[in-house]
Each structure stands twice: as C-alpha cells, then as structure tokens.
Amino acid sequence: MSGDMFHMGWFIGRGYGLPTWNRTWTGNATPREWVQGDYFVEWAQALERACFDIMMFADTAYVPDTFGGSAKTYLNQGHMTPMHDPASLVPVLGYTTKRIGLVATLSTTFYHPYALARLAGTLDSMTGGRFGWNIVTTSSRQAAGCFGVELPEHDERYDIADEFVELAEKLWASWEPDSVAIDEASGIYAEHSKISSVDYEGRHFRSTGPLNVQPSPQGRPVYVQAGGSPRGIRFAAEHAEAVVCMAKGAENMKAFRDSVREHAMAVGRDPDTVKVLYLIDPVVGETQHEVDARVAIRDASRAGGLDGTLTMAGYSAVGGLDLANIDLDAPLADYEPEEGHRAVFEQMMAVGSTLREVLPTLDMAGTDLAGTPDQLAGQMSELIQEVGGDGFLIGGWDATRRRIAEIADGLAPALRRRGLMRDGYSHHTLREHLLEY
Ligand SMILES: Cc1cc2nc3c(=O)[nH]c(=O)nc-3n(C[C@H](O)[C@H](O)[C@H](O)COP(=O)(O)O)c2cc1C
C-alpha cells in the first residue's frame, strides 16, 4: 500500500432523486426507471468495480420554493424534487454490492433518536457493516413546516444534535456487544442480563430504551458530517469520522482541514480518525482539446442557460436566498440568507462580492479541476500533498451514465495506475476501510 493513497467517494447531491434527464446523454428510460432504484444499483456497482469507499446520498424532505418565490423551476425540471427516502435505497444497494460503504443523510431535527437508532442499526446489519449516517441538522424552514414544527435556531440545532447523538449511542449500547448468544444447546438467543434500559432524560429528548434492534457489525454507523459554520465544524470535530469539505482552492481547503483537526485535538480525539474528504466535480476529457472544449461548455452553462438557472435555483434553496430576485451588482454582504446552509452562502462570498462575480463559479462542489484522467490524477495528488487530507468526493449535479463511466472507468483506473487509490477491498466494513489509511 502506498503512503500517498486516498479515499474516493461520490456525494450524490440529487440524493435518491431524479438523475439528470432530458439531455444529450441521459437516455429515455432514466426519468421513468429511477424510482425503482435500478439506476442506483448500476451506479453503485460501477463504483464498487472502481473500488470506491463511499457512495453517499444527500437528502432533503420538502419541495423547495425559494427561487423566484415559487416551486415552479424545481418541479418543472425535477430539480431537488422529487427526492425519495435514501434510507429505503440502502438495503437494495447493500444486496447488490458487497464492499462499498453506503451513506444516507438523516436529519437530527426531524427524527427521534430512537427511530433513527433503530433504522441505522437495522441498515448496518443488513449491509454487513457498511452503513454510514450523514448527520445533518437541516436548515430549511420549509422542511420544518412539512413536519409541523418550528425550526430551532442555527447553533441550537447543533446543541440538539449533540444530545441526539448522545442518546442514540446509549441506545446502540443498550445491547452489550456479546448479548446475542445464539446458544442452541441452552436455547438462548439473546442474554437478557446484557440488555438494559437507558432511562435517558435530556433537555430535548427522552427514552427509556432499550433498543429492540440487536448490535450491528459496526456497533453504530460511521458518522459523516457536512457543515462549515464554526459550530458545524465543532460538531464534526467531536463526532464525525468523515467530513465533507466544499471549500474552493488549496488555501480554503487547508484552513477547513486545519480547523477540523484542531478542534478534534481539543476534545481529545486523534485527528487522523477524522477523515476530511474534498468535494470536486472534475471536467474529464480524452485529449487536451476535448478538455478545453468541455471546460468552455461548463463555464458557459454556469453563466446562463438552463444549467445556470438550475444552479441558481439549487443555491437559492440550500443557501436560503432567492438569487432570482437579488441585484446582480449589489454587494452580497448586504443580504442576509434566510435560514440556509451558512457554509454555502459563505462559500459564495469567499469567491466574489457580487452575484455577477460569483455566478461563473457556482457548482455545488469545491475546487475546479479539469484534465485527462491521468492529468486529473496528478492534480488530485498534488492537492493532497499541498493541503493534506484523506480523499475526494465526486460532487456536482451531473448524474448521467456517461459521467459515471468517466469517473469509474476513466479517472479511477488513472488514480490506481499512480498508486493513489485502492485496487481491492481489504475489509468488510466501512469504518475499517476508512481507518485503513
Ligand atoms: C457539502 C454539503 C452537503 C450537505 N448536504 C446536506 C443534505 O444532503 N441534506 C441536508 O439537509 N443538509 C445538508 N447539508 C447541510 C448541513 O448539514 C448543515 O445543516 C448546513 O450546512 C448548516 O450548517 P452550517 O451552517 O454549519 O454549514 C450539507 C452541507 C454541505 C456543506
């Protein structure tokens, strides 16, 4: 194993939702078939052939209507909605793959810890220890409205999440690791003296327990976190085993990673157990000529057209600011995002002071990379050497079979040829794979 190796994953921002449709490379069947999950099975199998560590699903639980104050763009284009429940997809992918880690986004604001501990324990068992939980606190008032609750204020959501994780861990621990005896001679399945109630009474949650789900292979799911505010980073440093970083440029990536690691050390954790994974959405071409042409297409689509509109609609929903109704040349700092993903708004402000300046860079992913597979492998290796870090998550909106092939059959082999990513799986659980290097 080379000391330069890093982890690869794919963060599917569309979640268990409609893949890219109605474009040149999207086929006819996709918009009708995705609901049954087949598309994602193919995707997971392609990533497993490519030896990815993680396939991760975003999730939101509402129909957005921020952009232009209407749900029209989102619904007409099938953009960010419909979004089906990713936890339901996990067992299907678990049965059709063997080693890749499967991460679903579940919100601490809308689940009860007991329901989530039960679900996550079940999924970890069903996948043989490959389940990860992307812990989100949810920043959408609309989502709160759907659940009929008030959205707590930003930092309080993380305080609630701290308590949520504490209770969930007590529930997972309510069965001692060796409580399931399966002793056929004595006729004992589970040893009752090793299963105890939790009798938890916190500020936000209560539960008597115990959980009615037996211990899963990983004991608890791998914790993943994506949130870039200072409070979000503190939460990540305390709990997360993998952190999604959407910072743009080596300097911002490094600052993010240093901050996560410092906070982890401050709470007594070994920072090497908190893996920082950078979002990238690389343009892949076969020749320099093709790379240049595709970069030009990307830049044009960011600045206008349907792709530009969809990107703005996406940023409006997750950034909590209606980009259809703000002055292109007014300072962004004059606007206060509603209750959005603070990290997203701050990322915008880091690249420019007005929407006109920022628009050409918006892509829901981090640092821009472009090249042939081999060039990209070189660029990724240089970035990791410069910044430090543990790997990359493919992000962006493009979810076509062509895109999957570019990454799984183009980029991954190029990374492997340079000894930068695994060429086989050494373990069975996601945590073991993450901790391997
Ligand atoms: C890259 C990235 C991906 C995210 N994915 C989701 C998601 O799928 N669902 C969700 O509800 N929130 C998602 N979030 C939101 C965060 O979990 C968090 O709630 C939000 O960023 C606000 O916290 P912050 O101010 O600490 O960033 C994501 C955030 C980032 C930065």
| 341 Cα to the center of ligand 1, angstroms | 6
Does residue 110 belong to any structural domain of this protein? yes
340 in ligand 1 pocket by Cβ < 6 Å? no
Q: What is the CATH number of the domain that holds 403?
A: 3.20.20.30
Point out the ligand 1 atom lying closest to the alpha carbon of residue 244. 1
Full DSSP string of 95-129: HH-SS-EEEEEEETTTS-HHHHHHHHHHHHHHTTS
Does residue 354 belong to any structural domain of this protein? no
| 59 Cα to the center of ligand 1, angstroms | 10
pTM, whole model, 2 decimals?
0.96
With H, G, I as helix, E, B as strand and everything else as coil, classify residue 180.
strand
pLDDT tens digits for range 399-437? 999 999 999 999 999 999 999 999 999 999 999 999 999
| 244 Cα to the center of ligand 1, angstroms | 9
Q: Which two tokens stand for residue 403?
A: 């895109």
Q: Which two tokens stand for residue 394?
A: 């493919």
Peptide bond into 373 cis (omega under 30): no
108 in ligand 1 pocket by Cβ < 6 Å? no
Neighbours of 392 (CB within 10 A): 28
Residue 48 is predicted with a pLDDT of 98
Place of tokens 């906070």: 263
Residue nearest to atom 4 of ligand 1 (CA): 226
58 in ligand 1 pocket by Cβ < 6 Å? yes
Lowest-pLDDT range of 41-55, 92-106, 139-153: 139-153
- 9: which strand partners? 54, 393
Mean pLDDT of the chain: 94
pLDDT tens digits for range 128-140? 999 999 999 988 8
| 403 Cα to the center of ligand 1, angstroms | 24
Residue 341 is predicted with a pLDDT of 65
Residue 116 is predicted with a pLDDT of 98
In the chain, pLDDT over 70 holds for what percent of residues?
98
Roughly how many angstroms between the first and final C-alpha of the chain, as a whole number?
9
If you average pLDDT over residues 179-208, what whole number do you get?
98
Closest to 210 in 3D by CA, of 179, 178, 171: 171
Does residue 63 belong to any structural domain of this protein? yes
CA angle 339, 345, 346 (to 5 degrees): 125
Does residue 204 belong to any structural domain of this protein? no
| 232 Cα to the center of ligand 1, angstroms | 9
Does residue 178 belong to any structural domain of this protein? no
Distance CA 283, CA 6 (A): 20
If you average pLDDT over residues 17-38, what whole number do you get?
92
If you average pLDDT over residues 346-366, what whole number do you get?
83
Number of H-type helices and E-type strands within the chain: 17, 16
Residue nearest to atom 31 of ligand 1 (CA): 227
If you average pLDDT over residues 191-215, what whole number do you get?
98
Residue pair 90/16 in contact (Cβ under 8 Å)? The answer is no
For residue 143, the enclosing domain spans: 7-171+211-286+364-435
Point out the ligand 1 atom lying closest to the alpha carbon of residue 135. 17
Does residue 301 belong to any structural domain of this protein? no
136 in ligand 1 pocket by Cβ < 6 Å? yes
Pocket test for ligand 1, best of 57, 139, 393 (most atoms within 8 A of CB): 139
Model confidence at 371: pLDDT above 70: yes
Model confidence at 149: pLDDT above 70: yes
If you average pLDDT over residues 68-74, what whole number do you get?
96
Point out the ligand 1 atom lying closest to the alpha carbon of residue 235. 26
Does residue 326 belong to any structural domain of this protein? no
Confidence of residue 241 (pLDDT cuts 50, 70, 90): very high
Confidence of residue 227 (pLDDT cuts 50, 70, 90): confident
342 in ligand 1 pocket by Cβ < 6 Å? yes
Residue 370 is predicted with a pLDDT of 97
Place of tokens 């115990």: 210
| 259 Cα to the center of ligand 1, angstroms | 17
244 in ligand 1 pocket by Cβ < 6 Å? yes
pLDDT tens digits for range 73-125? 999 999 999 999 999 999 999 999 999 999 999 999 999 999 999 999 999 99
If you average pLDDT over residues 235-256, what whole number do you get?
94
Residue 366 is predicted with a pLDDT of 86
Residue nearest to atom 18 of ligand 1 (CA): 227
| 375 Cα to the center of ligand 1, angstroms | 31
Does residue 165 belong to any structural domain of this protein? yes
13 in ligand 1 pocket by Cβ < 6 Å? no
Residue nearest to atom 8 of ligand 1 (CA): 58
Overall number of domains in the chain: 1
Residue nearest to atom 23 of ligand 1 (CA): 227
Lowest-pLDDT range of 133-142, 201-210, 331-340: 331-340
